[in-house]
Chains A and B, each alone.
Chain A
Amino acid sequence: MKSYQQNFFSGSVRKTSFLRLFRNRFLSGLCIALSLLTLVPLFSIVILVIRNGLPLLNLNLFTQLPPAPGLDGGGFGNAILGTLVMVGISLLLSVPLGVLSAIYINEYAPVSAMASAVRFVAKLLTGIPSIICGVFAFAAVVMTSHHFSAIAGGVALAILILPIILLTTEQALLGVSAAHREASFGVGATPFQTIWRIVLPDAMPAIMTGIMLAVSRAAGETAPVLFTALFSQNWIRSVLEPTASLSVLIYNFASLPYAYHIKLAWSASLVLVTLVTLTNILAQVIFSPKHR
């Protein structure tokens, strides 16, 4: 009979195996189930946004202005442009500041009071609620210039993403191998040359990833632009006047009692999600390391 046959593995296995096997399968199953569960909210959002946003999606959305309340037709070209402009302004302000500070605290003075202070403040800033950035920009820019403006929105977003850029850049610089720095100093390079020619190119993919992360964060935020850039029904003509943005448009239109505006808000959500996803994918494709 087969079951009485002795083989090399019989003996020890039979007695303990059932409980072990069960526990092993149970825990593996639990891990798989829970990781699938984490995907549920993400996919629900994406599916919901696509299902509600897709029906209205057409080229006019990108080229036309929002309709007056109660009317149909039109799009939100001004809001897309406004979001791009304000994200652009925030990058212009925060990228030089964030990247240069990160270079300073990581390359020039890694163990100084200054570096610890900057690191500490940056970490504190990441925890500041985005609405506070908006309040600050309102007080600092809107109150002093007496205008809601794209600049004010850009400043609010810049404050929001500055710590993200600073901290991801620092991580990127830490990731550059010490051997490369050593090699560069070893052939007589100055700190500047080493940073410019060796460290930055090496860290660039990771820095760009951080910047793209910041872009998606900035593009999606409503609170900082809500009362700094306000909103506008028209195309942006100057960065000194109130400017529409996708996130504020979604916020505004979703609370209107007009069916068409609510549909527009759904489409704007789809466009926003797509824009953010595309920037992330693009960043990874373009800035993936070449010589590695």
Chain B
Amino acid sequence: MSTEKNPTLVLTDDFAPGEVNFIKVDNFKFFYGKKEALHGINLEIPSRRVTSFIGPSGCGKSTLLRNFNRMNELIPGVRHEGDITIHGTSIFDPSVEIIALRRRIGMVFQKSNPFPMSIYENIVYPLRIAGQNNRFILDETVERCLRSSALWDEVKDRLHESALGLSGGQMQRLCIARAIASKPEILLMDEPCSALDPIATAKVEELIIELKKDFTIIIVTHNMQQASRVSELTAFFYLGNLVEFDETRKIFTNPSKQQTEEYITGRFG
């Protein structure tokens, strides 16, 4: 497919730049066994922005997302070529500890996956596994994360009750709270609203917009309205290639590739 010159990002004037090439994907290829799922992706993602990955199922958007925190390495028989750097450091560098990497990069999954523990213990889990057991710090973290995820008022009186008693939307916001507990810089979201009803989705979207002040957010979504609502930048993937990467406004109003236009207008995908 389009291995022609990879699209580069041109920022318009009213786009206040963060660190423009905070995350840099450099000719990145990824293989599940013999199957090549990503064919040499080049991409630069700025910091403190919401970037959305769109594209039909199997296009490689989730695969790329799950490479940023090296979650794909849990699958046997995978390998990669090329490089991904974050703030100038290759995440595949032998000196990078995978544990440390994942602590700096929070991840929210498609299906909310709170642990079968109390709300409180769910949020402090990332701290506890890092050896932090100071009651004061744990309490403070729980309040900070629940306030950040707009869940504090709803659950402050039942912090020590099971997280599995929450509603679907609350569970997903709890997972966001847990993902930011270790104070990461980057937040990866893999279709975070696909299992939520419209009201819960609206709350999570508000939250995403709120969180971009502090985090670099990358969100994979099948919902194009969602991409246009929450993200400033959008990358369109198709069959393992990055077809187009630009400001969301431009992608949705005046895409430069025909494939992109066909996809966002619903003619395929």
- B19 → A minimal CB distance (Å): 23
Query: A64-72, A148-156, A190-198, A235-243: which lies at the B interface?
Result: A190-198
Residues on A with beta carbons closer than 8 Å to the beta carbon of B181 = 187
Residues on B with beta carbons closer than 8 Å to the beta carbon of A110 = 76
A289 beta carbon closer than 8 Å to chain B: yes
Query: A47-55, A73-81, A175-183: which lies at the B interface?
Result: A175-183
User: B109 contacts A179, CB within 8 Å?
Assistant: yes
Q: Given that A111-B76, A183-B175 are contacting pairs, would A291 and B126 also be in contact in the complex, using a CB cutoff of 8 Å?
A: no
Residues on B with beta carbons closer than 8 Å to the beta carbon of A190 = 99, 129
Q: How many residues of A contact B (CB 8 A)?
A: 23
Q: Given that A111-B76, A188-B126, A292-B164 are contacting pairs, would A183 and B100 also be in contact in the complex, using a CB cutoff of 8 Å?
A: no
Q: Quick one: which of A179, A187, A202, A291 contacts B125, CB cutoff 8 A?
A: A187
User: B116 contacts A183, CB within 8 Å?
Assistant: no
Residues on A with beta carbons closer than 8 Å to the beta carbon of B130 = 188
- B73 → A minimal CB distance (Å): 10
CB-CB nearest in chain A for B100:
A188
User: A189 contacts B113, CB within 8 Å?
Assistant: no
User: B69 contacts A186, CB within 8 Å?
Assistant: yes
Residues on A with beta carbons closer than 8 Å to the beta carbon of B113 = 177, 179-180, 182-183
User: B116 contacts A289, CB within 8 Å?
Assistant: yes
- B217 → A minimal CB distance (Å): 15
Mask of A257-292 contacts with B, CB within 8 angstroms, 1/0: 000000000000000000000000000000001111
A185 beta carbon closer than 8 Å to chain B: yes
Q: How far is the CA of A183 from the CA of B99 in the complex (A)?
A: 13
User: A180 contacts B164, CB within 8 Å?
Assistant: no
Residues on A with beta carbons closer than 8 Å to the beta carbon of B129 = 184, 187-190, 193, 197
Q: Count the A-B residue pairs with Cβ separation under 8 angstroms: how many? A: 76
Residues on B with beta carbons closer than 8 Å to the beta carbon of A291 = 116-118, 162-164
Mask of A193-213 contacts with B, CB within 8 angstroms, 1/0: 100011001100000000000
Q: How far is the CA of A57 from the CA of B99 in the complex (A)?
A: 61
Q: How far is the CA of A290 from the CA of B121 in the complex (A)?
A: 14
B29-75 interface with A by 8 A CB criterion: 69, 71, 74
User: B109 contacts A202, CB within 8 Å?
Assistant: no
- A146 → B minimal CB distance (Å): 50
User: A202 contacts B107, CB within 8 Å?
Assistant: no
B105-127 interface with A by 8 A CB criterion: 106-107, 109, 111, 113-118, 125-126
CB-CB nearest in chain B for A186:
B107
User: B115 contacts A198, CB within 8 Å?
Assistant: yes
B182 beta carbon closer than 8 Å to chain A: yes
- A289 → B minimal CB distance (Å): 7
Q: Which of A110, A187, A290 has the most CB of B within 10 A?
A: A187
User: A185 contacts B102, CB within 8 Å?
Assistant: yes
CB-CB nearest in chain A for B104:
A188
User: B179 contacts A186, CB within 8 Å?
Assistant: yes
CB-CB nearest in chain A for B130:
A188
User: B102 contacts A187, CB within 8 Å?
Assistant: yes
Residues on B with beta carbons closer than 8 Å to the beta carbon of A182 = 71, 74, 109, 113
Q: How far is the CA of A160 from the CA of B164 in the complex (A)?
A: 39
Q: How far is the CA of A209 from the CA of B69 in the complex (A)?
A: 37
B212 beta carbon closer than 8 Å to chain A: no
CB-CB nearest in chain A for B162:
A291
- B180 → A minimal CB distance (Å): 10
B103 beta carbon closer than 8 Å to chain A: yes
Residues on B with beta carbons closer than 8 Å to the beta carbon of A187 = 102-103, 106-107, 125-126, 129, 178-179, 181-182
CB-CB nearest in chain A for B99:
A188
Mask of A233-261 contacts with B, CB within 8 angstroms, 1/0: 00000000000000000000000000000
Residues on A with beta carbons closer than 8 Å to the beta carbon of B175 = 183
Q: 28 interchain pairs (CB within 8 A)?
A: A177-B113, A180-B115, A180-B116, A182-B74, A182-B109, A182-B113, A184-B115, A184-B129, A185-B71, A185-B74, A186-B102, A186-B106, A186-B107, A186-B109, A186-B179, A187-B178, A187-B179, A188-B99, A188-B100, A188-B102, A188-B103, A189-B125, A189-B129, A190-B99, A190-B129, A193-B129, A291-B118, A292-B164
Q: Which residues of B contact A (CB under 8 A)?
A: 69, 71, 74, 76, 99-103, 106-107, 109, 111, 113-118, 125-126, 128-130, 162-164, 175, 178-179, 181-182
| 17 extra A-B contacts, CB within 8 A, seeds A182-B113, A186-B102, A187-B182 | A177-B113, A179-B113, A182-B74, A182-B109, A183-B113, A183-B178, A186-B109, A187-B106, A187-B125, A187-B179, A187-B181, A188-B102, A188-B182, A189-B99, A189-B125, A291-B163, A292-B164
Ranked nearest first, the 8 interchain pairs of A and B with the lowest CB-CB distance are A179-B113, A188-B103, A188-B102, A187-B126, A291-B162, A291-B116, A186-B107, A183-B113
